[in-house]
Amino acid sequence: MADSRRSVNARKLRETARKANSSLVGSHISPSVQRGGRAMNAGSVSFANGRKQSRASHGEVRNVVSHAHRQSGGPALHVGGHNFAQDIHRRTRARRIAGIAAVVVLLVVLAISVGVFVYFGSVGSKLALRDSDAASALKAPQEKTASYVLISADLGGATASSDFEGPDALVLMRVDSQGKAMSFLGIPAETGTTLSDGNLHQLRDAAGEGDAALIGKVSDLVGVDIAHFVKIDRAGLVKLVDAAGGVDLDLSEEIDDPAAGSDYLAAGPQKLSGSAALTLLRATNLSKGVQSQAQNQAAFFSQLVVKLFSAQGTLSSASLLDKVSSCFQTDISSNDLLAAGETLVGISGDSVSSAAIPGSLTGSSSSLVSSAPRVFTPSKSEWAQVQAAFVQGGDAASAATAGAVDVSGLKVEVQNGAAVTGAAASTTQLLSQMGCEITATGNAEQQVFEETLVVYSTGHEEQAKAIVERMGFGRAVKDVGYYTYTGDVLVVIGGDYKPVS
């Protein structure tokens, strides 16, 4: 009996195994599968649902449930003709999008890097000094807090000329980055200097021997090492001023010089356009001639630099620097200019001062009278004080005023003792500009004086010496009763006379 039961159970196990084998899914489905030489078909597998039975009969499989995912706690993975394909498509698409995004980011980074490189290369090429030997004369500052920059402006005349005449404005800038302070010194382009030919020339002529020669002469004159050099021409200046939105400047006297330009500028606060700035920088029809011109040039460039380095200035961002990079040339790189902009941004007018080398213009304005050029000669005592204040970062303008001897109200008589036509009138005009009171003018009893004498009475020695220094010729002598004159000082013009302005 037991054997009978075991036989029945064995048959049921074999039958169950055959049914399970019939339901296995291989790499493909067909209505009949050969296994072990026996024909098997989908009909040998029973399904409760009629449609599933029909699909199985045609070899179709709609879903296979993976129990592996269920056992691991994850959701069942349904693999079928639609759901499985969509899932694989979504995953593939996500990987493709992620790959594309990574490539795009990489390309953007590369584009920005290349763009920055190209930008600075373009700006740098515009700023770079062309055909210049300036680098051979430039020296790094010895002290960390101060450096000197020479600005050379070739402004031409009121009309363009192809002939080389050298710069019309020379301004030396002292920059204290740590203290956020700047000082500007106007140097008359007519300042006398000896060049390689051994002859006396105006300082502007040094540029004809190269930028290095000009830098060297200015360095010797002021007694400092110059670290950087900036060149600008007439067109560049006009464009730069207009790009900066104009320059605000308080003029000490009116500008009315037809030889400099058509703009008339009244004394007092002015907002200068590019054209007006050009007229101001060229004008010499002023109370102290080229000294006043140099003072105006220093004051103008001080306010221009303040405007450029202000929070909204044209050197406050790379895009604005690109806008004005073609206006001037310099050895300073675009990176360093932007760095300077960040260091000096917001610099106030109280931290900026300007002054000019004091002195006078001497020599004949006509080549028929003398072959020597008309040059500007610094006043020894006043220039020494201005120079010291400028180099030390002080107020050079105040030093010039403090060092000047007050001759206002001094009673002076002028006599022509050399028979030089117009000498007395020219000297009288200069003394009047200095504030002297002219008591009389005319010819001396004898026209034989080889040397100009400035004769002073007791108590007026320093004033007499100041007159000699301002004229640029002559000698101060104390009156011992040999001369007859009205007033405090007698000026007798001799053969050493030089026209002054």
pLDDT of residue 120: 43
The mean of the pLDDT values for the chain is 78
Please enumerate in sequence order all residues whose Cβ is within 8 A of that of 31, keeping only pairs 6 or more positions apart, or say none. Answer: 41, 42, 57, 58, 59
Q: List 172's β-bridge partners, or say none.
A: 150, 185
Task: Express each pLDDT in 11-67 by its tens digit.
Answer: 665 666 565 555 544 444 444 444 444 444 444 555 555 555 555 555 544 444 444
Q: List 409's β-bridge partners, or say none.
A: none
Helix H or strand E encompassing 118: helix 83-127
Residue that is written with structure tokens 């055909």 in the block: 131
- One DSSP character per residue, 220-286 reads HHHTS---EEEEEEHHHHHHHHHHTT-EEEEESS-B--TTT-S--B-SEEEEE-HHHHHHHHH---S
Spatial distance between the Cα atoms of 450 and 359, rounded to a whole number of angstroms: 23
Task: Express each pLDDT in 284-302 by its tens digit.
Answer: 999 888 999 999 999 999 9
Q: Would you state the structure tokens that stand for residue 193, as one six-digit string?
A: 């200097």
Global pTM value: 0.64
Spatial distance between the Cα atoms of 46 and 63, rounded to a whole number of angstroms: 16
Q: Which has the higher per-residue pLDDT, 433 or 437?
A: 437
Q: Is the pLDDT of residue 308 over 60?
A: yes
Do residues 222 and 312 touch, judged by C-beta distance below 8 A? no
Q: Is the pLDDT of residue 204 over 80?
A: yes
Among the residue ranges 11-15, 76-80, 231-235, 328-332, the one predicted with the least confidence is: 76-80
What is the pLDDT confidence band of residue 73, given thresholds at 50, 70 and 90? very low
- State what percent of residues in the chain have pLDDT above 70: 69
pLDDT of residue 39: 45
Q: Is the pLDDT of residue 424 over 50?
A: yes
Q: Which of 51, 71, 63 is nearest to 25 (CA)?
A: 63
At residue 491, φ and ψ (nearest 5 deg) are: -110, 115
C-alpha of 275 from chain center? 21
pLDDT of residue 160: 44
Which ranges of 128-210 does DSSP label H, i.e. alpha helix?
Answer: none
User: Three-state SS string across 374-434, please?
Assistant: CEEEECHHHHHHHHHHHHCCCCHHHHHHHHCCCCCCCEEEEEECCCCCCHHHHHHHHHHHC
Cβ neighbourhood burial of 220 (10 Å; 0-12, 13-18, 19+): exposed
What is the pLDDT confidence band of residue 315, given thresholds at 50, 70 and 90? low
Task: Express each pLDDT in 147-166 by its tens digit.
Answer: 999 999 999 865 444 456 78
pLDDT of residue 261: 92
pLDDT of residue 53: 57
Do residues 166 and 204 touch, judged by C-beta distance below 8 A? yes
At residue 313, φ and ψ (nearest 5 deg) are: -70, 165
